[in-house]
Chains A and B, each alone.
Chain A
């Protein structure tokens, strides 16, 4: 990355972070809701043990997945759609800013948001005495979940490049909610009906949560990594297609 590209990326990231801090309404859906659910379920079921892992600790992976994909799937796509509606993306193109820099800044800002969500969840679980994992395990969970947001960010960008802001918000939320429920992000997958468990195997959110749980010593990783790689390739294709046809 050249010095100039780095400076432009810095400006783009700074603008994204300012948007987050200065428009606190987005904090509600992106931070308060996932963390609020986490706190509620942790208080109710955090001390139970499921699959050899205390539920409160497992929730860091499952609710953590919900938390990071909420920001990764909502923020970049909505941001891109807003920029297009305003003519701001067109202005950047005219200013010779590669669209990849703008999108990378949006994805990075969402990741930083995700770090905040995970930190709050970890702190809450620690406070409730339901966190039974080593620092290394927690760092691995965080890294896996944050890395696992890539396909969701790409899908979000694809939607944002094709639809107007309101449609993007509606569509992404409409996708996010069933993904969270059917993948066992709120209620542990083993407590869900057999049909739902069968459906979950085809959902990337399920595989990301399972990959997070694997860092806490529950289950294998390979099949989930493969599923997420396939999803990433598919969403990358969608994002590239959306970019080609987008009218910025």
Chain B
């Protein structure tokens, strides 16, 4: 995992990270490296250790074992943390402040002059809203304000926790466009998300965590290519039980008579389907997506335990 020799100076490195909460092991020997301009998506089920890894990366927790470095420094030190930008899913803003006050405040807290806020507000399309107070902002606008606060210090590493939850498609596209520009200038992005297909579109690497360990660390297309599964989508009168008994079926997801079947033997399955339902329609066979690849990895790990 991540064994390729890289000559650039890493923005973030984690080596042998282990962390416990009482009896529960949250991280079990995690190694990770994020390079300048790279976007790394942390994926995994709830309790996989993503939040702990993020908390260690941003200096909110001290490693119990192993080390984490941001630009070679300890993230618990203020000077290192100023090189980080963080946007968290659960952040609420004080209702008494305006957009301008929030972003200028973030600039000053990050060691810059208040005037540093101007260009970021313009970049994120917030200049018109700068005098507006928090209660009058939409969910998408609040997300942009948080991103502006994270970007105002021009961080070397941006840590994003579910950054696009609640955004519509256009706002999401705009969000990733802004990040693409920043990444082109060298800002690395570490993002945790449940929107797996979105991470497939934007991340250079996907790190799949489960029960505190890394199951995979690879580009999304490589993860998908490793999976021999195919998805057969079809409208059929066969019910779920009948479908599950067909040859090569791994799983069935049904929405009325439109079903999605996971299989590793698509030809065999198609023959059986056509044989049993002469009125079969809307047949499609697709490669599995990243979501299926991640699920397959976590299922395999679960089965191995």
Contact = CB atoms under 8 A, between A and B. Distances in A.
A239 B60 CA distance: 20
Contact of A96 (B81, B94, B133, B149): B81
A19 B94 contact: yes
B245 interface: no
Interface stretch (A83-91, A111-119, A184-192): A83-91
Contact of A97 (B95, B104, B109): B109
A218 interface: no
Q: Classify the interface of chain A: helix, strand, loop or mixed.
A: helix
A195 interface: no
Interface residues of B, number: 28
A91 B90 CA distance: 10
Interface in B80-135: 81-82, 84, 86, 88, 90-97, 101, 104-106, 108-111, 133
Nearest to A79: B94
B81 A94 contact: yes
B303 interface: no
A111 to B, nearest CB: 19
Contact of A91 (B59, B91, B104, B133): B91
Interface stretch (A7-15, A30-38, A150-158, A201-209): A7-15
Interface in A14-28: 14-15, 18-19, 22-23
B96 A88 contact: no
Given A87-B91, A88-B91, A96-B81, A19 B108 contact: no
B304 interface: no
A94 B108 contact: no
A88 B108 contact: no
Contact of B111 (A4, A10, A22, A85): A4
A22 B96 CA distance: 6
Contacts of A87: 88, 90-92
A74 B88 CA distance: 28
Nearest to B110: A95
A90 B88 contact: yes
Nearest to A82: B94
Given A18-B97, A94-B81, A94-B84, A11 B91 contact: no
Contacts of B81: 94-96
A90 B86 CA distance: 11
Given A93-B60, A94-B59, A94-B81, A18 B101 contact: yes
B130 to A, nearest CB: 15
Contacts of B109: 8, 11, 92, 95-97
Nearest to A19: B96
16 contacts: A15-B96, A15-B105, A18-B101, A19-B96, A23-B95, A82-B94, A85-B92, A87-B88, A91-B91, A94-B58, A94-B59, A94-B86, A94-B88, A95-B109, A96-B79, A96-B82
Top-7 shortest CB links A-B: A86-B92, A96-B78, A96-B81, A22-B96, A19-B96, A87-B91, A95-B109
Given A11-B104, A88-B93, A96-B109, 15 more contacts: A15-B101, A22-B96, A23-B96, A82-B94, A83-B94, A87-B88, A87-B90, A87-B92, A88-B92, A88-B94, A91-B86, A92-B109, A94-B58, A95-B82, A96-B81
